Structures are given as structure tokens and as C-alpha cells.
Amino acid sequence: MNRNTDVLSLRPSILVDENRSPLVIETFQNEVLRPILKFQHDLLHTYFKNHTAGKNMPVSNQEWSAYLQNCFSKDVNLRYFYIGLVAGLFTTEEMMFYKQNSSEINKRILQMLIQRLISAL
């Protein structure tokens, strides 16, 4: 068994505009982060619903966006839990790239995660 091959086989395909010449970090986002977030969507959404159960929740998308930004900025454990759900599906090579660019990649993970959560709620 090869973990890298197994992890790659789990990822759904994502359509990307190949006419652009994106930055390396954008390529990583489109080829790695987006498929992982799509694959993990149900788990990410379910965990957040359980995390917020019984709390007074926002009504509009704009309020949701501010609420989620606040959640992830104040609750470090929640932020890194979600980042771990994504990073746990990196290949060895992707993890090496992540280690070199973790700050930028973490921002991108959270931005895409917030958009996914808003669209699912």
C-alpha cells in the first residue's frame, strides 16, 4: 500500500481554468486544497453544526460570514482542528510544500472553508 497514491485517489476532480498561469500557491490551492475541502465537505459541515448546536445563530449570509470569521479568529483550537482535517489528507510532497508556506495556505484553507460553510447553511 502506498499512502500517497491512496490519498490522491480519494480526491474528486475539480474543473480549473487551465488558460491562466497561476502562481504556485494558486496551483496548490486548486489542485490540492479545493479537492480535499470538497471531499471533506460533509465532515466539515457536520462538525460545525454540532459545534454551534444550541447557540444563537446569525440569519443573513453577511452575518454568517462575520460570525465564522470571529469563530476562527478567536477559537484557535477550532481553527487548527479544521486545518488538521485538511492537512491530514496531504501527500508527503504536499506536506513539505505546506511546511514552507503554512501561513498563506492556512489563510486560504480558512477562506475557502468559510465560503463552504456559508453556502451549506
Buried b (16+ CB within 10 A) or exposed e, 43-66: ebbeebeeeeeeeeeeeeeeebee
**Residue 14 included in any domain:** no
C-alpha cell at 13: 476532480
Element (H, E) at 49: helix 41-51
**Residue 16 included in any domain:** no
**Residue 107 included in any domain:** yes
Domain count, the chain: 1
Residue 19: predicted pLDDT:
66
Residue 92 structural domain: 23-50+59-120
**Residue 41 included in any domain:** yes
**Residue 65 included in any domain:** yes
Assign 56 to helix, strand or coil. coil
Per the prediction, the chain carries an average pLDDT of: 88
Residue 83: predicted pLDDT:
96
pLDDT in tens, 4-43: 998 888 888 887 666 666 789 998 999 999 999 999 999 9
Structure pTM? Answer: 0.86
**Residue 1 included in any domain:** no
Residue 18: predicted pLDDT:
66
C-alpha cell at 61: 449570509
**Residue 81 included in any domain:** yes
**Residue 64 included in any domain:** yes
